[in-house]
A and B are shown apart, each in its own frame.
Chain A
Amino acid sequence: MSAVIETMTSRERVLAALHGQPVDRTPICNPTSVATVELMDLVDAPFPDANRQPEPMARLAATAHTILGFDTVMPVFSIIQESSALGCKMQWEGKDNWPTVRMSEPIWEHGDDIYVPNDLIDHPDTKCVLDAIKLLREDLGPDVAIIGKTMGPWSLAYHCFGVEKFLLLSLDDPDATKVILEKLKKVTIDFGRAQIEAGVDALTLPDHATGDLVSGEYYHRYLKDLHIEFAKAIPCPLILHICGRTVDRMGFIAQTGMAAFHYDSKNKPAESMAEVEGRIALVGNVNNPETLFSKTPDDVKSEVFANLDAGVQMIGPECAIPLQTSIANLRAIPEAVHEWHARQ
């Protein structure tokens, strides 16, 4: 087995893959968090500080490249920065748990209640993301890809209206639902554009129309056009993230103009590649709660190989990894990519 001769920087490799261009080897990407409690200790950047202060946020994010060997870094570990800026009630938690929005105490009841402040990106919990991105670019230079994150309106609506209430509204009153999504899209666009100005190369756009709660038809009805709009309005490659079984909507997602889809292990790599037919790149799929968290590096490698064999364009975990994940299992991802290419 011989080592792959790399002719591209990490950033060039990731951007090429996102633009559908040839790469020297498959990029290793984390569109969502790869933070762990051990990495937090190593660089003295524990949660919740690393979710609220730019310096620890940047230090922790950098470990994806410096310690784990990924081609990307991603400082927005959580999914709640914008929701905090919108006024949602927050539970920031401690080092070993994720911050959450108290969705049982929603801040809005009707579409008319929605208020998106003009200075949303100046809120401490959004500004720290922008400052962290600048720090990362300064520290890592031009050769590492920085991925930001801007939440989609469906996810924001869950946070601001409550999951159950918003889902019931989507059944009972499609027009009112669309009004809400239309109003919230400003958050997605504004925060995304601000991160581009701060220096990101690409943005993850989580919009949790997840397979367990929402059908493919729902995606088509409520989100496809909005996502097309985002792809045009936010001038950088977008990586859509939706958890769960999503093969039933991948055909629609492939038509949005987004650069990549960050997909869940509930979808098989080969069937997913067949569904998108090369119209959008795929990334992700390595299972978190079972494989990365509790199995062995060899099990992780098997899943990476399955993705590479299927032609998946970028390799990474399916979603934000559990905070207790072992470093050995995370490092098995880049190791597997290098091994696979060396065999070709």
Chain B
Amino acid sequence: MALREDPFAGLGTRIELVSTDRYFRDVSIALYVQDDGQGGSRFLVRSFARYDGLDARIAYILDAMITLGGMQRTDGLDAADSLRFPCGGAHLVAVRRLFLQACKEKPEAAAVQAPLSMWDKKSETTIHANGLGTGAYTLSAEGDAGRRLMALRNAVVKLADATMDDEDGTRFSFDCGHDHDAMIGLLLQSAPNVRAVMREFEMNAAKGVLMAPGSQK
């Protein structure tokens, strides 16, 4: 049972885990973050299962993260299975959401980048995210969205761990000062359901915790 090499060495910090991958034999797949040695962060996607076909599954998830989140492959060692944001930043909240979404994409087809707009059922109008440059964005509506714009802006800020503009209820920005259009497109689609998204994080966290019999149903 002893292993020659330590498979967990040098991975960095695990920041998200899909404990059973619905598309590949229920394996667990994790997202790790580590320093890139240049003041930035890079991300590894790892599973410790040893099934044939697993490498292709991981490759699909990496490709999906590139498409959905605008990430890019790193240079050098582990370049094949490590990613970074073009800005080099960590964006830990957003990248967790991106990883989970990449694992949910149906592997029969390549992932498709989300547009910077979405139909909002509640306000019955189309909402756009407009890039202002240097990592700043503003939301606008084709019709009258009223206070809904601010609610959606706040949701995107929560999902992206971005900074909201106190002066303007539709604006927000990334502290890295770089644009992240693909990521904003993805998170904008989730913004109307931000509570459900956060609940998903919480349910993930609660699963797999053994309760004493007196606390079970």
Contact = CB atoms under 8 A, between A and B. Distances in A.
Given A37-B28, A66-B1, A44 B213 contact: no
Contact of A103 (B2, B3, B20, B216): B216
Interface residues of B, number: 31
B207 A44 contact: no
Given A38-B48, A293-B209, A323 B19 contact: yes
Interface in A270-317: 288-289, 293-294, 296
Contacts of A17: none
A101 B30 CA distance: 30
Interface in B25-53: 26-28, 30, 47-50
B17 interface: yes
Given A37-B19, A44-B49, A324 B204 contact: yes
A324 B17 contact: yes
Nearest to B212: A243
A98 B208 contact: yes
Contact of B210 (A140, A294, A319): A319
Contacts of A163: 213-214, 216
Nearest to A320: B210
B91 to A, nearest CB: 19
Contact of B213 (A37, A43, A155, A326): A155
Q: Which among B30, B205, B216 has the highest number of chain A CB atoms within 10 Å?
A: B216
A289 to B, nearest CB: 6
Given A41-B27, A41-B47, A323 B1 contact: no
Nearest to A43: B1
Give the residue among A41, A213, A327 with the most B Cβ atoms within 10 A. Answer: A41
Interface of A: 33, 37-44, 46, 59, 62-63, 66-67, 78-79, 94-98, 100-101, 103-104, 139-140, 155, 158-159, 163, 167, 208, 210, 212-213, 243-244, 288-289, 293-294, 296, 319-320, 322-324, 326-328, 331
Given A96-B20, A139-B1, A140-B1, 19 more contacts: A38-B48, A41-B28, A44-B49, A44-B50, A59-B1, A94-B26, A98-B210, A100-B216, A103-B213, A163-B213, A163-B216, A208-B213, A210-B214, A289-B209, A322-B209, A324-B205, A326-B14, A328-B11, A331-B8
19 contacts: A38-B28, A38-B48, A39-B48, A41-B50, A42-B3, A42-B49, A78-B210, A79-B213, A96-B28, A101-B213, A101-B216, A167-B214, A208-B213, A208-B214, A210-B212, A293-B205, A323-B207, A324-B205, A328-B13
